[in-house]
Chains A and B, each alone.
Chain A
Amino acid sequence: MAGREESIICVRGLRNSFGEQVVHENLDLDVRRGEILGVVGGSGTGKSVLMRSIVGLQPPDEGEITVFGENALSQDEAEATAMRKRWGVLFQGGALFSTLTVAENIQVPLREFYPQLDQGLLDEIAAYKVVMTGLAPDAGPKYPSELSGGMKKRAGLARALALDPQLLFLDEPTAGLDPIGAAGFDALTKSLHKTLGLTVFLITHDLDTLYAICDRVAVLADRKVIAVGTIPELLALDHPWIQEYFNGPRGREATATVERNEAQQEAEAE
């Protein structure tokens, strides 16, 4: 291993378009091993499209995408399958299979890739994933339609983590959650990141999430990634969108919350 600076995802010269509308043009992005990278941008700047390109759901017009050091675009089916084993994806609404229970949903990737595992072990694996992702112990036999939005996301996360991936894609994990639920989900992401040594690609609109858990933040605007860095680094930049984003009323509120929490922690330490 080449240390923590090694790129786990490397995107170069990406171009995506839908008909006349160009979403990405000459987009470059690196995600380093072991970091939580937050991806922000206004609505319609192609955050989800970028994620879909990286995981292979949206073949780009041009450009190179390297994941785990391998070219993600020119693979045969076997190589692509091997790569899919090493990442987990949480879609915005959870995307749970509605005809399967939560437990069966979590077991789908395990059954698909490791058919030799016996049912007892599968159940045990699903059981501790249920607990680790903070689902209620009686959630196993429930169907997705019986779960609340937050529970669906947790169940989706449990499924994304079923194979112990090295790389986790989260698409707006805290959207639609109440602030307490969102903070809980942030804490969960952080704790799993630490426990499993995950690299996390996190699309979000939630400034609190950015401040709370992201190591670096990539900003999408003008069809490309205009800046990547820690929040203080981004704040030092002069781009109007970045300034408005972090220094707008909501941005200031999030900063104040972080400062308040830090002050509180210091006070408690004394």
Chain B
Amino acid sequence: MTAPADFSPAGDHTGTLRFSGSLALACLGDLPDRLNAYDGAVDRLDMSGIDHIDTVGAWVIHRFAVGHGAEIDGLDTDGKYLLEQVSAADKPVQMRPEPCGAFARVLGEIGDAVVISINTLYGLLGFLGATTIAFWNVVRHPQRFRFNATVHRFEVVGVSALGIIGLMSFLIGIVIAQQGAVQLRQFGAEALTINLIGRITLRELGVLMTAIMVAGRSGSAFAAQLGTMKLTEEIDAMRTIGVSPMEALVLPRTISAIVLMPLLGFYSSLIAIIGGGVLCWVSLGIPPVTFIQRLREVVPITDLYVGLVKAPVFGAIIAIAGCFQGMLVESDAEQVGLRTTSAVVQAIFLVIVLDAFFAVFFTWIGWI
């Protein structure tokens, strides 16, 4: 059964091709190419010499016979049946999407991307509205508030994040203090390092870095959780039972992010200041007592307010972007990954855009 497939013209110039060997996928070798190149007149294919034929062999023979208008004979019953079935399957089948010029394709992709962006923004606004409505519903019927689910989210979003956010903030405090000290030393103004640390962490970095960390930790988790629940039809089941997924899933997550972002942001600022203080002590020789004394003099209380006002808004954006993307998952598991990525990217992007608006706003009202 393993002899390679071969063919040769019969010697009597009757236009007969004799096939031999095994016409199976494993033994075909270059037979299809040689058949393609064969240009003699053929009206009969003699298959009586073959050992074995499978669908690929039958297909090659069928195609050749049709192309040359030849007849096939010499097959045993099974072979004939196989050939009949394969010939019956010779129908035009589309293998690839319709071809399209490169220019048209690029334009099409740009157009698709624009439409998707606009639709996503529109959908996100709609989702924000739906979350707000769910919030008012819960305010009007407080017994529908999922207290346990919300508190559980507090732990996942907040308490479990303390370690990593603390470590990150401490290191950022050290980096700011060190870089600031190096630059300010050139002007003999090393003491201003304390102003730098105190103001930048409370106003910007504490909350911003926390938002990025929460988006990476919790925003992605929200999207993946809701996406998986969507795939397994849990969310549909919830709806049929009469439980609103907005109230049961989205609201606890959003509330926990809104409540915890200011706390985490404040904690992050504090740890960053401690990190900066440690560096000032070690490298600039400023003792902690002086450091704190100086902080109280140079950092206005409005800096703390700036950070604390921004934090809940960032929390809301992160939670809503995560839940929104999770709810968009449809049909397959690959989408969960794609949507999770989009959730994080969108959340961080929106947080930074809003941060810019906040910066302008706070300058405008005089909190500088």
Contact = CB atoms under 8 A, between A and B. Distances in A.
A binds B: yes
A140 B85 contact: no
A85 B26 contact: yes
A195 B78 CA distance: 7
B297 interface: no
B50 to A, nearest CB: 15
Interface string A183-204: 0000000010011110000000
A219 B331 CA distance: 35
Contacts of A98: 332-334
Contact of B55 (A85, A103, A138, A196): A196
A131 B26 contact: no
B242 interface: no
B140 interface: no
Interface in A78-104: 85, 98-99, 101, 103
Given A163-B25, A164-B25, A197 B78 contact: yes
B96 A140 contact: yes
A112 interface: no
Contacts of A163: 25
B93 interface: yes
B136 interface: no
A238 interface: no
Secondary structure type dominating chain B contacts = helix
Nearest to A135: B93
Given A98-B334, A145-B331, A164 B55 contact: yes
A43 B59 CA distance: 41
A195 B84 CA distance: 9
A195 B94 contact: no
A125 B59 contact: yes
B332 A123 contact: no
Interface residues on A, range: 20 to 34
Contacts of A241: none
B28 to A, nearest CB: 8
Interface string B74-112: 000010011001101111111111000000000000000
A263 interface: no
Interface residues on B, range: 20 to 34
B177 to A, nearest CB: 48
Interface-centre pick from B25, B33, B59, B90 (highest chain A CB count, 10 A): B25
B54 A196 contact: yes
B82 A138 contact: no
Contact of A128 (B25, B54, B55, B332): B55
Contacts, number: 78
Nearest to B96: A141
A33 to B, nearest CB: 14
Interface in A97-154: 98-99, 101, 103, 114, 118, 121, 123-132, 137-141, 144-145
Contacts of A161: 55
Contacts of A140: 93-96
Contact of B86 (A103, A128, A144, A194): A128
A137 B56 CA distance: 19
Given A98-B334, A128-B90, A195 B59 contact: no
Nearest to B53: A164
B85 A144 contact: no
B5 interface: no
B54 A131 contact: no
B89 A114 contact: no
A137 B91 contact: yes
A29 B67 CA distance: 48
B232 to A, nearest CB: 13
B333 A195 contact: no
Contact of A132 (B54, B85, B95): B85
Contacts of A124: 59, 63
B199 to A, nearest CB: 49
A141 B100 CA distance: 14
Interface of B: 24-26, 32-33, 54-56, 59-60, 63, 78, 81-82, 85-86, 88-97, 331-334
Given A126-B95, A191-B85, 7 more contacts: A118-B32, A121-B60, A124-B63, A137-B92, A163-B25, A164-B24, A195-B81
5 contacts: A98-B332, A101-B96, A103-B95, A130-B93, A164-B25
